[in-house]
């Protein structure tokens, strides 16, 4: 009995030791003007590779397992270059996809860059007459499949583009797909077990002007096996952002009326189930979020919104059936999250968010948070309890005839090493949400669960107290205070989390952070 108890205690201590060994940190990366992260992948040495943009050039940055910056590379200059996706490759290198400037056509095109583990460029390619790549993944033959869109001169204004590249960066085939009569874009493409491909995208047609999610199954040479589009009964805003190939079908990430949704289909694209996850949505010129498998057989994703111009503030962990395990709200616009070798999670986002005072300007910063396996971290976020509901999606088979054209052109963008400073903390922590420097106000208790008592150092005249949530929405307003010495604020159904309490007086606005348990 004692031996069993001792073994049990040792097992608990071992598990706890493994948890303690997990790196937990929060960092900010900023060049003083504009730095944004759009995609992250784990490096071969337990560090991470971040892709995005810096001062309107494409950015690839390497950090170690504790968030220290090791090297960075900037591709192009002042042409709005950016990388939306980055992956590890079988030969210990990295491939990033996004948009690169084509000086010959004076336009941005779908672009891919392959670099080695030290950040040296192995090859870089653009696909002329295209616009932007959102996805790249490696194929069984060590080549790459990428997806994005191209501009059209007539109607519709854009078409999906899917291209197969060999291991040397040479184009093998390129296909265009036009399903909607307004816009079309491919946001994700993955290889399937039969050596074909599954394409996830979003289309818009007139009417009803709402996006539809679209799945296209391709053969190994890019020919269409089947095509289906998806919407709710009675309509609704749905679009496709990412897809993962499972043993029995496809798991699709959708953005739905400003909230994320997961849809599971069989191998023929028939809907098995769909679940919608309520969350924050905010305006942010960010790449579409991505869906990733986790180490325990589930999935992790962020709550981005529609069409590349939105990002949420939540990280969501679900099991293989889409049931919620945990979710966190962060003080930044989260765009990607991946698992790490220590079974934790690495979260990538941008800031500052609306309502939090930036350092000097509204120029964005890259923010990262590393958590343990349960989603716990040191700073910059708090646990949340979101609503999850079963949803109904209808699959509509459609036909499409792809266009077949394209070339891959080698380019040599200017490569530089920008000066990007990293700090420990959260986005906008340099100025932060202004804590009161004068003893004008005190709050108790903080954190609180039922009600908050606000005490003023002097009788208030013509002042107002407001509470702002992280997305910037006002959730409480005291009205004009006259003759007030204290103020009792009830919780009144507010969700647990971090808020900003603002005292507006004749001297200006002063802000204090408060937490609801």
Quick one: average pLDDT of 76-98?
A: 93
Task: Average the pLDDT over each of 18-32, 62-76, 432-446 and give the range with the smallest value.
Answer: 432-446
pLDDT one-digit tens code per residue, 357-366: 444 445 688 9
Cα–Cα distance, 514 to 508 (Å, whole number): 19
Q: Is the pLDDT of residue 250 over 70?
A: yes
Q: Are 423 and 30 in contact (CB under 8 A)?
A: yes
Q: Which of 81-90, 309-318, 462-471 has the lowest mean pLDDT?
A: 309-318
- Other Cβ atoms less than 10 A from the Cβ of 395: the count is 17
Is the separation of the CB atoms in 456 and 413 below 8 Å?
no
pLDDT tens per residue across span 27-85: 999 887 789 999 999 998 889 999 999 988 999 999 999 999 999 999 997 688 999 99
CA 161 from chain centre, in angstroms, equals: 22
CB-based burial, 108-136: b 16+ in 10 Å, e otherwise = bbbbbbbbeeebeeebbbbbebbbbbbbb
Domain 22-424: CATH class, spelled out: mainly beta
Q: Where are the domains of the chain?
A: 22-424, 441-516
Domain over 441-516 is classified CATH 3.90.1720.10? no
Q: Is the pLDDT of residue 306 over 50?
A: no
- And the tokens for 509? 């606005």
Highest mean pLDDT among 200-214, 258-272, 377-391, 486-500: 258-272
CA angle, 394 then 395 then 397, to 5°: 145
Higher-pLDDT residue of 472, 407:
407
Task: Return the minimum-mean-pLDDT range out of 144-158, 221-235, 498-512.
Answer: 498-512
Helix or strand run (H / E) with residue 257: none
Q: Which helix (H) or strand (E) holds 4?
A: helix 2-20
């Amino acid at each position: 009995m004692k031996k069993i108890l001792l073994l049990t205690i040792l097992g608990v201590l071992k598990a706890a030791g493994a948890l303690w060994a997990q790196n937990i940190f929060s960092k900010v990366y900023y060049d003083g003007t504009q730095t944004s992260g759009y995609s992250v992948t784990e490096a071969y040495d337990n560090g991470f590779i971040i892709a995005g943009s810096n001062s309107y050039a494409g950015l690839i940055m390497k950090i170690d397992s504790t968030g220290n910056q090791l090297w960075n590379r900037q591709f192009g200059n002042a042409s709005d270059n950016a990388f939306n996706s980055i992956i590890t490759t079988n030969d210990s290198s990295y491939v990033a996809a996004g948009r690169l400037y084509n000086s010959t056509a004076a336009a941005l095109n779908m672009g891919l860059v392959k670099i080695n583990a030290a950040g040296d460029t192995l090859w870089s390619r653009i696909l002329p007459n295209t616009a932007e790549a959102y996805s790249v993944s490696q194929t069984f033959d060590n080549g790459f499949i990428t997806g994005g869109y191209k501009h059209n001169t007539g109607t519709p204004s854009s078409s999906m583009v899917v291209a197969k590249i060999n291991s040397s960066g040479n184009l093998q085939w390129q296909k265009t797909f036009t399903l909607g009569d307004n816009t079309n874009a491919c946001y994700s493409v993955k290889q399937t077990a039969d050596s074909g491909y599954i394409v996830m995208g979003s289309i818009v047609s007139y009417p009803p002007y709402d996006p539809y999610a679209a799945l296209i199954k391709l053969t190994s040479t890019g020919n269409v096996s089947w095509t289906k589009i998806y919407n709710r009964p009675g309509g609704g805003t749905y679009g496709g952002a990412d897809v993962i190939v499972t043993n029995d079908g496809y798991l699709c990430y959708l953005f739905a009326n400003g909230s994320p949704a997961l849809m599971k289909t069989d191998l023929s694209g028939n809907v098995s189930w769909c679940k919608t996850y309520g969350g924050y949505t905010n305006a942010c010129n960010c790449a579409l979020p991505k869906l990733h498998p986790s180490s325990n057989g589930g999935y992790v994703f962020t709550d981005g919104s529609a069409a590349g111009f939105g990002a949420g503030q939540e990280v969501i962990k679900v099991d293989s059936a889409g049931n919620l395990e945990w979710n966190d709200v962060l003080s930044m616009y989260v765009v990607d999250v991946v698992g790490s070798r220590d079974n934790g999670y690495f979260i990538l986002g941008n800031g500052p968010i609306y309502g939090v005072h930036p350092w000097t300007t509204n120029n964005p910063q890259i923010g990262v948070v590393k958590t343990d396996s349960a989603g716990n971290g040191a700073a910059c976020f708090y646990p949340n309890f979101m609503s999850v509901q079963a949803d109904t999606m209808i699959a509509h088979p459609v036909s499409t005839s792809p266009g077949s054209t394209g070339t891959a052109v080698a380019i040599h963008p200017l490569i530089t090493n920008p000066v990007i400073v990293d700090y420990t903390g959260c986005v906008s922590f340099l100025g932060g949400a202004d804590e009161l420097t004068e003893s004008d106000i005190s709050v108790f208790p903080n954190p609180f669960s039922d009600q908050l008592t606000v005490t003023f150092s002097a009788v208030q005249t013509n002042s107002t107290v407001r509470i702002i949530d992280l997305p910037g929405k006002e959730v409480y307003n005291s009205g004009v205070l006259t003759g007030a010495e204290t103020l009792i604020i009830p919780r009144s159904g507010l969700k647990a989390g971090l808020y900003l309490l603002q005292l507006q007086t004749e001297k200006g606005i002063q802000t204090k952070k408060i937490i609801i348990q």
